[in-house]
Amino acid sequence: MRQSYLFTSESVSEGHPDKVSDQISDAIVDMMLAKDPEARVACETLTATQRIVLAGEVRCKGVFENGEWAEGALAEIEDIARQTVRDIGYEQDGFHWETLTFENYLHGQSAHIAQGVDASGNKDEGAGDQGIMFGFACNETPDLMPATLDYSHKILHRMAVDRKTGAAPFLQPDSKSQVTLRYVDGKPVECTAVVVSTQHIEGYDEGEKEAELHAYVKGVVGDILPDGLITDATAWHINPTGTFVIGGPDGDAGLTGRKIIVDTYGGAAPHGGGAFSGKDPTKVDRSAAYITRYLAKNIVAAGLATRCTIQLAYAIGVSSPLSLYVDTHNTGTVDDAALEDAIKGIEKLGGLTPRGIRTHLGLNKPIYAQTAAYGHFGRTAEGDLFPWERTNLVEDLKAALA
């Protein structure tokens, strides 16, 4: 690792058009899992000026069975999409939850995909697709996340709370953040640059009102970043284009799954390429990415490394992973191969099969809408939410290595 370098990560708010799409898709996943824990969902959402379009495939008891929609199901799906937009806060001429046009092109799941995934006879449930998934953890923050991404998320989350409570009434839903930190010996020591672009009401792009917005943003960033990181040399770029009134899906079309680096580790770790939102947990794009984060976080929490990357690989229709790879980036207290063997030997993980992952983490529940903004990782495990953020595997890892 280089002794000194700069690293940057970005985040986008719940009002960003791609994130609006993610939240709609995951709200529909939650609706179907609430009715049928074994539901199969692959829901893609397009958002644009005054328009929402859904597409994908589903199979869910009480919603879509035997090629037919249940009575009231289509209306319920539309209501969920509109309510999601309303909760985000869009009541603008170019994107209004109540008056936008809604189109639904969801259809039944492919029988050829189903035969590979479903358990039958002596065949265990298979992976929903081929692919590689990565998990990561490091000790840069209490959340065991890369600091640049952790701070970028928290800046926008704080701004959204202030917008909704009325503490910052000049804010609108769409915003982006970016934090650049200088690292020395792998530790963040200075914030060299901050970028925040936030949608605002008319008039906050000049004069005293612009100064008020800038002062507000600097105050939020100052609250989020630890003392000492911001200096007189920190470069500030707040609404660098000048005016940001037109935003959200009216300013730029949104698609589910287009913010995969924001969703994961901000570029600090590899990404397998698969998106999370809109997918039920039989899709290993989602569930295996969650279990690899869980494993990496527990390794770091156990003091077995200060930085850890884990890869899993799967083939469609095959239950057991094709490979497990652990890399502690020369920070481990034990050999990486020993960690691989320890993970394989922990019975409660169920061999890291799709069924084993879903069972251990309790993923067949309506827990996904809250993952669709401000990152899937580095969040607080509470009740059924964010179970992959728990550190309850620490003692099992230590015992397996003993």
Q: Is 398 flagged in the annotation as binding?
A: no
18 is catalytic: yes
Distance of CA 384 to CAs 145, 186, 276, 380, Å? 21, 34, 18, 11
**Which residue in 126, 81, 114 sits closest to 100, CA to CA?**
81
44 is catalytic: yes
Of the residues 14, 30, 44, 129, only one is catalytic, namely 44
Torsion angle, alpha carbons of 140, 145, 148, 153, to 10: -140
252 is catalytic: yes
Of the residues 10, 36, 285, 327, only one is catalytic, namely 285
Q: Mark out the alpha helices in 193-308 (DSSP H runs).
A: 207-224, 248-251, 260-263, 284-301
Q: Is 112 flagged in the annotation as binding?
A: no
Question: What is the spatial distance between Cα 370 and Cα 383, in angstroms, rounded to a whole number?
Answer: 13
Q: Is 18 flagged in the annotation as binding?
A: yes
Of the residues 95, 134, 136, 244, only one is catalytic, namely 244
Q: Is 399 flagged in the annotation as binding?
A: no
Q: Is 57 flagged in the annotation as binding?
A: yes
253 is catalytic: yes
258 is catalytic: yes
Of the residues 57, 65, 210, 341, only one is catalytic, namely 57
Contacts of residue 200, defined as CB under 8 A and 6 or more positions apart, other chains included, come to 170, 171, 172, 213, 239, 244, 245
Q: Is 176 flagged in the annotation as binding?
A: yes
Q: Is 258 flagged in the annotation as binding?
A: yes
158 is catalytic: no
Q: Is 10 flagged in the annotation as binding?
A: no
176 is catalytic: yes
19 is catalytic: yes
Q: Is 30 flagged in the annotation as binding?
A: no
Contact predicate 312/291, CB 8 Å: yes
SS3 for 65?
strand
59 is catalytic: no
Other Cβ atoms within 10 Å of 169 Cβ, number: 9
Q: Is 160 flagged in the annotation as binding?
A: no
209 is catalytic: no
**Which residue in 49, 17, 378 sits closest to 176, CA to CA?**
17
Of the residues 38, 65, 87, 252, only one is catalytic, namely 252
16 is catalytic: yes
In this structure, the strands spanning 254-255 and 40-48 are: antiparallel
Of the residues 157, 176, 297, 376, only one is catalytic, namely 176
User: Which residue ranges are tagged as binding site for ATP?
Assistant: 16, 174-176, 252, 258-259, 275, 279
Binding residues: 16, 18, 44, 57, 109, 174-176, 252, 258-259, 275, 279, 283
Residue list for the binding site for K(+): 44
Q: Mind telling me the catalytic residues?
A: 16, 18-19, 44, 57, 176, 244, 252-253, 258-259, 279, 283, 285
